[in-house]
Amino acid sequence: MHYKNILLALVFMSFLFNCKEEDKLTKDVLIIPQPLEQTINKGEFILNSSTGINYDENFKISAEFLKVFIEEGSNIKLQSNNMISFIKDESLADEGYTLEILPESIIIKAKTDQGAFYAVQSLRQLLPPEFEDGTVEENEIAIPSVTIKDKPQFSYRGMHLDVGRHMFSVDFIKKYIDALAMLKMNTFHWHLTEDQGWRIEIKKYPKLQEIAAFRNETLIGHYSDQPHQFDGKKYGGYYTQGEIKEVVAYAQKRFVTIIPEIELPGHSQAAIAAYPEFGCTGEQVEVATKWGVFEDIYCPKEETFAFLEDVLDEVLALFPSEYIHIGGDEAPKTRWSNCEHCQTLIKKEGLKGEHELQSYFISKIEKYLNSKGRQIIGWDEILEGGLAPNATVMSWRGINGAIEAAKQHHNVIMTPTSHCYFDYYQSENENEPIAIGGFLPLEKVYSFNPIPEELNEEEAKYVLGVQGNIWTEYMKTSEHVEYMAFPRILAMSEVVWSKTENKNYPDFVKRIENFHKRLDALNINYANHLFEIEGELISDESGLSYPLQTLTEGNTIRFTLDGSEPTVYSEAYTKPITITESVSIKASVFNLEEKLGNTFSQDINLHKAVGKTITINKEPHKSYPGSGAKGLVNGISGSDSRYGDKEWLGFWGDDIKITIDLGEETEINSIETRFHNGNGQWIYTPTEIEFEFENETKHLKIPESKENLVDIALDVKIKTKIITLKIANYGIIPKGKQGAGNKAWTFIDEIIVN
């Protein structure tokens, strides 16, 4: 070879080599939540026992966290030198930081210890996951050289946990707080009181411990399963004040603020079971043994306020948080309507009914807490009857509460059920553990944009941040809580920390896949749905087809069409499956040797309306769009339990008119569809449907049902091109039902025409 060619080859090889090296390092910088800016440098920092750490009082918590993390995670003992240094930089945002990893040093700059703590969390994710469980064997660890400049998008980055329905150990609460801190979340909303159990020791009221903390038994199975059955076992407990102090101190060392929630005036049946005199009737009730909303709520009497102020005094002594959550949600007004004291109070105070009485209640509590230097947060029902003057609103029934509150210049925290309720199903797989209902897959959490479009720039400033909620009716164990929390909490951390414009779901998925090893080391029981498959029926000029896709790269989808289980020998998916008749598709993701995830199954029922033109006079609700109108005639029925999946369309309070154009006069014999009827989730089947054909109209009455799903069928013998369905919404949820007074939802599935 001519020497010039040799030179060229050498240059080319060194180019390849450099690329490889950079590729490897790029792969290693996979941080969750995604930092604002990261630049990969050349080379690496070697962490070993000659590495030292230097910090002063300003960075005591963050630097000591790092020291303990390294020394407990490995055999490396840190010296006292400047190789890892913490430097105060007043120009940075309060929670921001820069992290500069160079071959010779690591420099962390921050304005606050909290900012430096987040730099440490990023650095932690650049260390091997074996540090998490102390199994590092190497004496030298290479850390990729990188410069990170980072700060959060939102100041409120929260996770909630309901310990009323089921209670979890102090150790687990600490583990949960650890996870929040690792993900740069800064608020733990501890939901401490419920109808089914009071979980915080209040020394002045011993019956809260003796009576309110225990229920006689617990509902078995789902609330919708009729008739209700119970386990006959006493259940309960509470956190002592000593334990709470320990948890608060633990959280402080991780820059997590704990906001305690003491529910009022509703969700208070356990307290009323202990002290019936604080209810309207004075009658003995029991600590609730099933889920839902209960009518026995606090009566706004002087004695009740004295009790609540005493309780709050003890709460304030335990929790230094600026905010105290006072609940405010789901307080049925039945007892107040029938209570002489409440009615007299309404008249005396010149209030317009029970909603204003609730405002009066909340405002009185707010005044008390403000006088102690604290602020209140309440669920969005506190808007009804007028907001207390300084209240922050937690918007859970969609985002309208947030819009209304922000327009009134009140702070808001976004936690709409549609994107933030981690008690909903996260997979369409039928083997998922029982959940309350709904469907909130990882991607939907990730897609959440916390700033409602309806707010202008000025109003948007009132959005403090977002919170994921974990209601535990159906979670008896901490492992189950972890399963529901992870990986959705990872998506939430990115929603609240990372810049919305920079979010990229495929990139996030890669980082999650990498993060699994860390979660394993942390012994966190995460759900793994990364190897699941999704499909979609496509109708175009060339007919009907069904493409499949999966999230991760580098594996093969294999499928069958005869109902059999796919194996490594099944046909490899290369192009959309052509659909010419009803089929049953099964598919799975495989690497070279084995199946990686669950089997995906999809029946396609090729009825007469599949792929035809469909219009609806109303858009489905933004939170439950399914796959749009065409999803009602795609041959695919929705899940039996997950009303928020791609197939169900949700409408909130709207009457709807659906028109299907079959393209030509077609002989039809029947029209079938079904409605979700999850009354616990405010979803109701309509009472009537009107069917219109070209020359004929038919009415179908739908009887009330206790079933969760209601199938309806109209038998007709008719030739028609156009089918119209007029479906009236159920209306306002009646008294005595969950969500009474709110608009009902309509959820409709596939419209099957034969």
For CA atoms 402, 403, 406, 408, the dihedral sign is: negative
How far apart, in whole angstroms, are the C-alpha atoms of residue 611 and residue 247? Answer: 57
CB neighbours of 603 closer than 8 A, spacing ≥ 6?
582, 583, 584, 585, 636, 637
The listed partner (ligand ACM, Zn ion, none) that binds 379, CB under 5 to 8 Å by sort, is: ligand ACM
Under the binding rule (CB under 6 A), the answer on residue 223 touching ligand ACM is: no
Nearer to ligand ACM by C-beta: 99 or 270? Answer: 270
Under the binding rule (CB under 5 A), the answer on residue 339 touching Zn ion is: yes
Under the binding rule (CB under 6 A), the answer on residue 384 touching ligand ACM is: no
The listed partner (ligand ACM, Zn ion, none) that binds 212, CB under 5 to 8 Å by sort, is: none
At closest approach, how far in Å is the CB of 197 from ligand ACM?
16
Under the binding rule (CB under 5 A), the answer on residue 299 touching Zn ion is: yes
Nearer to ligand ACM by C-beta: 310 or 329? Answer: 329
Helix axes 170-182, 113-126, angle to 10 degrees: 90
For CA atoms 111, 113, 115, 116, the dihedral sign is: positive
The listed partner (Zn ion, ligand ACM, none) that binds 399, CB under 5 to 8 Å by sort, is: none
Under the binding rule (CB under 6 A), the answer on residue 45 touching ligand ACM is: no
- Residue of minimal CB distance from ligand ACM? 329
Nearer to ligand ACM by C-beta: 288 or 339? Answer: 288
3-state secondary structure at position 457: helix
3-state secondary structure at position 723: strand
The DSSP secondary-structure symbol of 200 reads B
The listed partner (ligand ACM, Zn ion, none) that binds 329, CB under 5 to 8 Å by sort, is: ligand ACM
Strand partners of residue 85: 54, 107
- The answer to whether 658 and 615 have CB atoms below 8 angstroms apart is yes
Site string for ligand ACM, 314-353 (x = CB under 6 A): ---------------xx-----------------------
Burial class, 390, CB count within 10 angstroms (exposed 0-12 / middle 13-18 / buried 19+): middle
At closest approach, how far in Å is the CB of 315 from Zn ion?
24
- Residue at 197: amino acid letter: G
Distances (CA, A) of 73 to 30, 56, 289, 324: 20, 23, 44, 37
The listed partner (Zn ion, ligand ACM, none) that binds 280, CB under 5 to 8 Å by sort, is: Zn ion
At closest approach, how far in Å is the CB of 345 from Zn ion?
8
Q: Which structure tokens are listed for 753? A: 């025409």
Nearer to ligand ACM by C-beta: 382 or 509? Answer: 382
Nearer to ligand ACM by C-beta: 369 or 377? Answer: 377
Region from 32-40, 297-305, 350-358, 501-509 binding Zn ion, contact rule CB under 5 A: 297-305
- The answer to whether 745 and 682 have CB atoms below 8 angstroms apart is yes
The listed partner (Zn ion, ligand ACM, none) that binds 648, CB under 5 to 8 Å by sort, is: none
Question: CA angle, corner 428, sides to 425 and 434, nearest 5?
Answer: 40
At closest approach, how far in Å is the CB of 463 from ligand ACM?
18
Distances (CA, A) of 214 to 166, 234, 373: 11, 7, 33
How far apart, in whole angstroms, are the C-alpha atoms of residue 450 and residue 459? Answer: 13
Nearer to ligand ACM by C-beta: 153 or 472? Answer: 472
- For residue 156, what is the enclosing H or E element? strand 156-162
Tell me which of 167, 219, 248, 280 binds Zn ion, using CB under 5 A: 280
The listed partner (ligand ACM, Zn ion, none) that binds 497, CB under 5 to 8 Å by sort, is: none
Q: Estimate the share of the chain in helix, then strand, then coil, as percent rounded to the nearest 5.
A: 30, 30, 40
Q: Residue 517: left if φ>0, alpha if ψ -120 to 50, beta else—which one?
A: alpha
- For residue 31, what is the enclosing H or E element? none
The listed partner (Zn ion, ligand ACM, none) that binds 342, CB under 5 to 8 Å by sort, is: Zn ion
How far apart, in whole angstroms, are the C-alpha atoms of residue 232 and residue 213? Answer: 16
Under the binding rule (CB under 6 A), the answer on residue 396 touching ligand ACM is: yes
At closest approach, how far in Å is the CB of 392 from ligand ACM?
14
Site string for ligand ACM, 276-315 (x = CB under 6 A): ----------------------------------------
At closest approach, how far in Å is the CB of 329 from ligand ACM?
4
Question: What does 161-191 look like in DSSP terms, one character per residue?
Answer: EE-SSS---HHHHHHHHHHHHHTT--EEEEE
How far apart, in whole angstroms, are the C-alpha atoms of residue 212 and residue 199? Answer: 8
Nearer to ligand ACM by C-beta: 29 or 399? Answer: 399
CB neighbours of 24 closer than 8 A, spacing ≥ 6?
none
Tell me which of 76, 127, 342, 710 binds Zn ion, using CB under 5 A: 342
The listed partner (Zn ion, ligand ACM, none) that binds 299, CB under 5 to 8 Å by sort, is: Zn ion
Nearer to ligand ACM by C-beta: 382 or 589? Answer: 382
Torsion of CA 563, 567, 569, 573, to 10 degrees: 70
The listed partner (ligand ACM, Zn ion, none) that binds 466, CB under 5 to 8 Å by sort, is: none
# residues near ligand ACM by CB under 6 A: 4
At closest approach, how far in Å is the CB of 266 from Zn ion?
13
Under the binding rule (CB under 6 A), the answer on residue 379 touching ligand ACM is: yes
Residues that bind ligand ACM (CB under 6 A): 329-330, 379, 396
Residues that bind Zn ion (CB under 5 A): 280, 299, 339, 341-342
